[in-house]
A = this chain, B = another copy of it.
Amino acid sequence: MADPQEESKPLLSRVRGGSGRDRPEGAPACRSVQVGPGTTARRDLCLDQAVVFIEDAIQYRSINHRMDASSLWLYRWYYSSLCQWILSFTIFLILFLAFIETPSSLTSTADVRYRPVPWEPPCGLTEGLEALCLLVFAADVSVKSYLVGWAQFRKNPWLLAYLVVLVVSLMDWIVSLSLVCHEPLRVRRPLRPFFLMQNSSMMKKTLKCIRRSLPEMASVGLLLAIHLCLFTMFGMLLFTSEKDAGQDKERLTYFRNLPEALTSLLVLLTTANNPDVMIPAYSKNRAYAIFFVAFTLIGSLFLMNLLTAIIYNQFRGYLMKSLQTSLLRRRLGTRAAYKVLSVTAAGEAHPEGVGVKPQDFLHVLQKVQLDSDHKQAIMEKVRSHGGDLLSADEFQELFDEFDKRVIKEPPPRPEYRSPFLRSAQFVFSHRYFNYLGNFMALGNLVTICAFLVLDADVPPEDRDDFVLGILNFVFILYYLLELLLKVLALGLRGYLAHPSNVFDGLLTVVLLVLEISTLAVYRFPHPGWKPEMLGLLSLWDMTRLVNMLLVFRFLRIIPSMKLMAVVASTIMDLIKNMRAFGGILVVVYYVFAIVGISLFRGVVVAPGNSSLAPANGSAPCGSFEQLEYWANNFDDFAVVEGLFRAVVAGVVCHLGQPVSGSDSGELPSQVGPPQSPAVPHGGLGGHLSDDGGALVQGCPGGAHGGGADGETEPSPAPAAVQVTSWCALPAGARCGLGTDTDHGRRRVVAPKRFFPLDRTTGRA
């Protein structure tokens, strides 16, 4: 994230760009309004700028980009959903290529004993796709760089790295093609996840946070290393004697030499070989257990938790800080839009002074990309305001609507004339009808489970699915009936307005299709009816699997239970927080897999030609052969996943927790006015000068500008801090981050937590 001072300067600023290169031509147009032929064009530009500023505010984007007419068009086009969707799809495509490229993962099994020769994509196929993707990325990076301007581009490490990665990928691609796809090493493949990271701001933040906590993690790592080495030496000293059988067995098995002893204890740290490693010595004398207990207690329980505690603290602080930066961005965007709009209004003679004309704002809002519910809510609020100019305060308040959840009215039910239909409508839209449906679904589940348990001890070839087939048929008929009756009662639009109904309806349709095909293939159930196996699953098994999804009908009850509501809200926060972390994990996994493939491909070879079922019993216990780990190899991309999961599970068990435990949810959920920790409640009383450039120039000096703003206030009491400069937010933010300005000291907000102080108590 850039410095707030930097962020607050869009490229229309006059102070910026001592070199003429950065100053777009159209920039000064919106600064002074003259009556003349260019007025309409200038007004339009101002409105367009306002639209972009508001969109920036909504999306928490920096307003630091070019603001001339053509750049604005390019900017809006770049952030349109189509462009962003194309970009996302390209990223998905280039990552997905790993499954198809040599060594392709398109075999049904990964077991080296049974695997057929995988399909080789012809040279040029994946390379062609890749070239397309790289072209899209090249366009992306050039548009982005143009929009932020050369000065910003130079200072943005992500954009620079983007360019470098792109150039390296292109060069590697050319080498690859010139060697007709027989190059020994593909540099560009492990670089691909960078495109994913570059495109997600949350992932960038998480990565920065991880990077910042690296020193602390390294020091705990050092402690762990000391702990491990110390105990390795202790262990090797303990298990050296030749007379004691238990000691000698322990030594030969786990402490034979330094690398082996280190490995044994490292694995013990993950508790994977927990009792085994101490059994030989422990069998001999129980006092040896003290060594292992001490090691586990200090290592697994104490040092690992220490690691978690440290990472947790780092993450919490950092997420809070990034929350502030995002709020600052929203403030900047809103204020800039206000400034630009009030310039347009200033041309006309208004008695009330400076402000935004509601019709201007409505006009701008029409153009803003925003979901219709929120747009509607804000428009209504503006209309209710009447024809007066909107002050900066009121303007800012309008944007609080973004964080409120809009509750949609369900569409009206169909009106029936016939009393029979009316009563049917009442019955089938009643919640007891829902309960009946849930009850039927429960019955369906219970029958499936009961038959599963009953059939468990019967060999598959002797099973008789007649009764279950009939029951299933009946249940699916009931679901169909339920669907139709609900549509009758609520109308099709009313039915689809509830997501739960959509889920039920989809499930019913899928079940119906499966049931009809089952009937078509195996005919109607009769005694001794037993659907045959086709492929992995018979149609019949599939029906039963889909039936299990009925469980989700019951999960809907959860949020209505009070206790479960707490849990459910925690789940939602968790999902939001884990998303960025999950992205980082995907990146790590991807690189791990690609590097693993290039290093270890073909290391695992099939066991001789003797037979496909080797004499398993001859292999020693715990060996690769005995455990039949043939499918765990690095021979193609999809297979590494199985290996990796074992590693990840342990890591995430520790690392995932800081994220989950963190109480600072992602931004949108916490920005709402009641909880917002960084927004001073005093409001934006101060008005800045009319100059659009000055607006953003004034900000960096906001620490002092706050005092100067007091002149527009009726009672200029020196200690009455009712007037909070709009620019005080960045000042306060910086103050909280270390620097202690005069302004920050006078406002007595505890500087590390950003409290909404009610300033009215402070008045004389």
A520 at interface (Cβ–Cβ under 8 A)? no
- On whether the beta carbons of B563 and A219 are closer than 8 Å, the reply is yes
Within 8 A of B (CB), among A368-408: none
> Which of A356-364, A485-493, A657-665, A727-735 sits within the interface?
A657-665
- On whether the beta carbons of A660 and B309 are closer than 8 Å, the reply is yes
A758 to B256: give the CA distance in the assembly, Å: 65
Distance from A715 Cβ to chain B, minimum over Cβ atoms (Å): 12
> Which listed residue, B286, B453, B746, B756, touches A109 by the CB 8 Å rule?
B286
- On whether the beta carbons of A274 and B645 are closer than 8 Å, the reply is yes
Q: Take A282-B642, A641-B293 as given contacts and tell me if A460 and B241 are in contact as well, using a CB distance cutoff of 8 Å.
A: yes
- On whether the beta carbons of A233 and B448 are closer than 8 Å, the reply is yes
A460 to B248: give the CA distance in the assembly, Å: 9
A230 to B234: give the CA distance in the assembly, Å: 47
- On whether the beta carbons of B761 and A721 are closer than 8 Å, the reply is yes
Distance from A389 Cβ to chain B, minimum over Cβ atoms (Å): 32
A109 to B288: give the CA distance in the assembly, Å: 10
- On whether the beta carbons of B533 and A241 are closer than 8 Å, the reply is yes
A278 to B187: give the CA distance in the assembly, Å: 33
- On whether the beta carbons of B237 and A567 are closer than 8 Å, the reply is no
- On whether the beta carbons of B219 and A642 are closer than 8 Å, the reply is no
- On whether the beta carbons of B646 and A274 are closer than 8 Å, the reply is yes
A659 to B555: give the CA distance in the assembly, Å: 31
- On whether the beta carbons of B114 and A308 are closer than 8 Å, the reply is no
> Which of A2-10, A620-628, A706-714 sits within the interface?
A620-628
A35 at interface (Cβ–Cβ under 8 A)? no
Q: Chain A 297-333, CB within 8 Å of chain B: the 1/0 string?
A: 0001110111011101100000000000000000000
A351 at interface (Cβ–Cβ under 8 A)? no
Q: How many residues of A contact B (CB 8 A)?
A: 129
A587 to B450: give the CA distance in the assembly, Å: 41
Distance from A251 Cβ to chain B, minimum over Cβ atoms (Å): 8
> Which listed residue, B234, B567, B645, B652, touches A223 by the CB 8 Å rule?
B567
Distance from A256 Cβ to chain B, minimum over Cβ atoms (Å): 7
Distance from A686 Cβ to chain B, minimum over Cβ atoms (Å): 19
A629 at interface (Cβ–Cβ under 8 A)? yes
A65 at interface (Cβ–Cβ under 8 A)? no
A110 to B282: give the CA distance in the assembly, Å: 8
Taking chain A's interface residues, is the majority helix, strand, or loop, or is none over half, making it mixed?
helix
Distance from A488 Cβ to chain B, minimum over Cβ atoms (Å): 32
Closest to A656 in B: B305
Distance from A491 Cβ to chain B, minimum over Cβ atoms (Å): 33
Distance from A167 Cβ to chain B, minimum over Cβ atoms (Å): 36
- On whether the beta carbons of A746 and B761 are closer than 8 Å, the reply is yes
Q: How many copies does the complex hold?
A: 2
> Which listed residue, B237, B284, B653, touches A304 by the CB 8 Å rule?
B653
- On whether the beta carbons of B284 and A660 are closer than 8 Å, the reply is no
A113 to B246: give the CA distance in the assembly, Å: 13
Within 8 A of B (CB), among A269-308: 271, 274-276, 278-280, 282-287, 289, 293, 296, 300-302, 304-306, 308
Within 8 A of B (CB), among A218-260: 218-220, 223, 226, 230, 233-234, 236-238, 240-244, 248, 256-258
A545 at interface (Cβ–Cβ under 8 A)? yes
- On whether the beta carbons of A275 and B574 are closer than 8 Å, the reply is no
> Which of A144-152, A169-177, A597-605, A631-639 sits within the interface?
A631-639
Distance from A416 Cβ to chain B, minimum over Cβ atoms (Å): 39
- On whether the beta carbons of A216 and B563 are closer than 8 Å, the reply is yes
- On whether the beta carbons of B258 and A456 are closer than 8 Å, the reply is yes
A484 to B278: give the CA distance in the assembly, Å: 42
A280 to B537: give the CA distance in the assembly, Å: 17
- On whether the beta carbons of A257 and B108 are closer than 8 Å, the reply is no
A478 at interface (Cβ–Cβ under 8 A)? no
Closest to A459 in B: B242
A607 at interface (Cβ–Cβ under 8 A)? no
- CB contacts (< 8 Å) of A453 on chain B: these are 257-258
- On whether the beta carbons of A215 and B628 are closer than 8 Å, the reply is no
- CB contacts (< 8 Å) of A238 on chain B: these are 537, 541, 545
A756 to B242: give the CA distance in the assembly, Å: 66
- CB contacts (< 8 Å) of A248 on chain B: these are 460
A349 at interface (Cβ–Cβ under 8 A)? no
- On whether the beta carbons of A660 and B274 are closer than 8 Å, the reply is no
- On whether the beta carbons of A627 and B762 are closer than 8 Å, the reply is no
A179 at interface (Cβ–Cβ under 8 A)? no
Q: Take A274-B649, A459-B242, A642-B278 as given contacts and tell me if A285 and B109 are in contact as well, using a CB distance cutoff of 8 Å.
A: yes
- On whether the beta carbons of B649 and A545 are closer than 8 Å, the reply is no
A130 at interface (Cβ–Cβ under 8 A)? no
A286 to B218: give the CA distance in the assembly, Å: 37
A595 at interface (Cβ–Cβ under 8 A)? no
A452 to B578: give the CA distance in the assembly, Å: 46
Q: Which of A305, A650, A659 has the most CB of B within 10 A?
A: A305
A658 to B113: give the CA distance in the assembly, Å: 46
A719 at interface (Cβ–Cβ under 8 A)? yes
Distance from A515 Cβ to chain B, minimum over Cβ atoms (Å): 16
- CB contacts (< 8 Å) of A538 on chain B: these are 241
Distance from A460 Cβ to chain B, minimum over Cβ atoms (Å): 4
Q: Chain A 646-684, CB within 8 Å of chain B: the 1/0 string?
A: 100110111011111101000000000000000000000
Q: Which 10 A-B pairs have the closest CB atoms?
A: A764-B764, A242-B460, A257-B456, A305-B660, A621-B621, A111-B283, A312-B661, A309-B660, A748-B758, A271-B649
Q: List 25 A-B contacts (CB under 8 A).
A: A216-B563, A216-B566, A216-B567, A219-B564, A219-B566, A219-B567, A233-B452, A238-B537, A238-B545, A242-B460, A243-B533, A258-B456, A278-B642, A280-B628, A286-B639, A289-B642, A296-B645, A301-B653, A301-B656, A302-B574, A621-B621, A653-B654, A719-B763, A746-B761, A748-B758
